[in-house]
Structure 1
Amino acid sequence: MAETSRKDYSTIDVPVRGGLLHAAVWGEENPAAPTILAVHGVTSSHMQWTVLADALPGVRIIAPDLRGRGRSNALPGPFGMAAHAQDLAALLDAVSAGPIVVLGHSMGAFAAQVFAHAYPQWVSSLVLVDGGLPLPLPPGVSVDQAIDEILGPAAARLSMSFPDHETYLEFWRRHPAFADDWNDAVEAYARYDLLGEAPYFRPATTVDAMTEDSRDLLAGDSVRHALQDLNHPAVLLWAPRGLLDESPGLYTHESVDAWAGSHRSLRTEVVPGVNHYTIVMGSSGAARVAAAVKEALDAGRTGTAGRYPPGD
């Protein structure tokens, strides 16, 4: 059970290529309920959304464990944003009626964009959180070098084993991103991430899934085409600090403005005081994401979606 005050949490399994996609649903089955699809990051799971779920009472949240992660980690490759888009379409076909707001964090923001490009009928608008805009490779840096630079610590964690849950929790408590933001939801997130039996518990995300997906979002065509053809109203909320609480984070004002200025359907906002994780798993970050989701839902109901000035 997720660490959430909401009592309407349940899980489902949906047939997709190669097996079953596991997903969580906060909210009752009600076609009239405001509904969002929430897509997690590269080594994460649906459990990253529990703080947000508490901040959105009355909103139905559909949140998968993506292929290669969580309780969907046995699903085979190929991976990549197009593969995730196909899985998201199968999930919504089973549990919802579109179009709905699609929320994506980190890699999930890239997957959300590709999903909106491939299946526009499912999407009313996009809320992108610290992801979704290209991460350009510095001159002379290969894709593999960039993956190691950005995700090296995460890749190292995926290759480790842990004798028990408490050792894994202590690993996360020492993580720079959560030094000042540890909470019950983060603990539940870490506990859910560990699979296996003592003394060889392992993180759920497969290294192959992380690597193939990272290579696709850095150098694949699907993300580039989705951004070039962005037609849905979208907001990007970005963190000033990164995966290890470092500054700058994945984006800077300059890199965000360079893209936002050429996409009239995209507006952007930096969320102060958060890093790449706490923008969705800390109370202040999740509150701002929840507000953006409510704005997107309200815009969809009133027909004002897309009337945003560029780059504000």
Structure 2
Amino acid sequence: MTKPVELDLPVEGGAKLRVLRFGEGPRAAVAAHGISASAMSFAAVARQLPPGWSLFALDLRGRGGSDTVPGPYGVDIHAADICTAAARLGGGRPVALTGHSMGAYVALRAAARRPELFDRLLLVDGGMPLPLPPGADPDAILDATLGPSIARLSMTYPSDQAYVDFFRAHPGLGPYWNEDIEEYVRYDLTGPQGARRSRAQQEAVRQDGRELLTSAASFGADLTGLTVPARLLYAPKGLMDQTPAMNPPELVAHWKAQAPELAVEEVPDCNHYTIVLGAAAKTVAARLASPA
């Protein structure tokens, strides 16, 4: 596997974000990852892009190589960072934009706020507003849906292999294990030997997750007001390789009716993770390289 080039991107507040550049072509794409993930989740997609492309995947604040960048977190600041990347790394022309899971909401917000920076938007198993039931506790819902992902952020592991084994036991990843998944997992590691841990910061994950659950109205406005050509790819299986998925067909159909210019496509034989980390990455790359 070809290693990406690591770049440091100055952003608002004087911080520098880590960016992984995959490829050397003049045509640029910018990517935002999921809530507890990293830029390395786009390695398989980048490898499937046609010649002439470069994919710039950000480690969002509090994750990956940007793990020491402090808050504030939240969709608005992540979207501003994506816009900075597009403006500085796009070679003076609009770029293709994609985001997976939480990153899809970040990409949606960026395209809604600064449409002149982007010539297409690809949402990957995310970006659909998720209304919070009346009276529901966002933190309780986070624990119910992302409990294992959040729990690992406060755990330590005796070795790199122990961390890899933790992920190999995950039903959404283990049965589909490949080199890209292993590289993604190993990239996430930090800390001393004997006490290895994830680079994703629990405060960042919780703050961002809470906002995703309480901001359905603003995401709906972003989606229905888009002027950038947009496409949604969604997986038939969810986080734990289960059905219903995170974006069930009825939810997709509802927002397709609200935003008729949004193209939608189910990608078969994948789950929330393997849509970018498995064979389905070829479909994601093909749609990213083609106008929506």
The 3 A distance-change label for structure 1 pair 52 and 249 is same
Gaps of 5+ in 1: 297-304, 306-312
Question: Aligned partners of 1:80, 1:139: CA distance in 2, in Å?
Answer: 22
1:261 counterpart SS class: helix
Q: Deviations over 1:72-98 (max 9, x none)?
A: 011111111110011112222332233
Q: TM-score, normalised by structure 1?
A: 0.88
Moved more, 220-229 or 198-207: 220-229
Partner residue in 2 for 1:122: 117
Residue identity opposite 1:186 in structure 2:
I
**What is the identity, as a one-letter code, of the residue corresponding to 1:133?**
M
> Which of 255, 262, 274 is 2:258 aligned to?
262
Distance 2:50 2:182 in 1: 22
| Separation in structure 2 between the aligned mates of residue 203 and residue 195 of structure 1, nearest angstrom | 6
Percent same amino acid among aligned pairs? 41
Deviation at 1:219, TM superposition (A): 1.1
Cα RMSD after superposing both structures: 1.6
**Equivalent residue for 2:84, pick from 64, 82, 90:** 90
| Structure 2 residue 143 is matched with structure 1 residue 148 | yes
Q: Secondary structure in 1 aligned to 2:208?
A: helix
Deviates most, 274-283 or 245-254: 245-254
Tell me how far apart the structure 2 counterparts of residues 205 and 44 of structure 1 sit (CA, whole Å).
Answer: 7
Residues 4-25 of structure 1: CA deviation (Å, up to 9, x unaligned): 34x7x31110112242100011
Does structure 2 retain, via aligned residues, the 8 Å contact 1:18–1:76? no
1:105 to 100, 105, 109: 100
Deviations 1:125-153 (A, max 9, x none): 11000000012224543222221122111
- List 4+ stretches of structure 1 deviating above 4 A: none
Q: How does 1:102-251 map to 2 (within 5 A)?
A: 102-220=97-215, 222-251=218-247
Cα distance, 1:34 vs structure 2: 2.1
Q: Determine the C-alpha separation between the residues in 2 that align with 1:10 and 1:122.
A: 23
Alignment partner of 1:10 out of 5, 10, 15: 5
1:267 partner amino acid: A
Q: Among 40, 49, 52, which residue is 1:56 paired with? A: 49
- The 8 Å contact of residues 28 and 89 in structure 2, kept in 1 or not, is answered as no
TM-score normalised by length of structure 2: 0.94
Runs of 5+ in structure 2 lacking a partner?
Answer: none
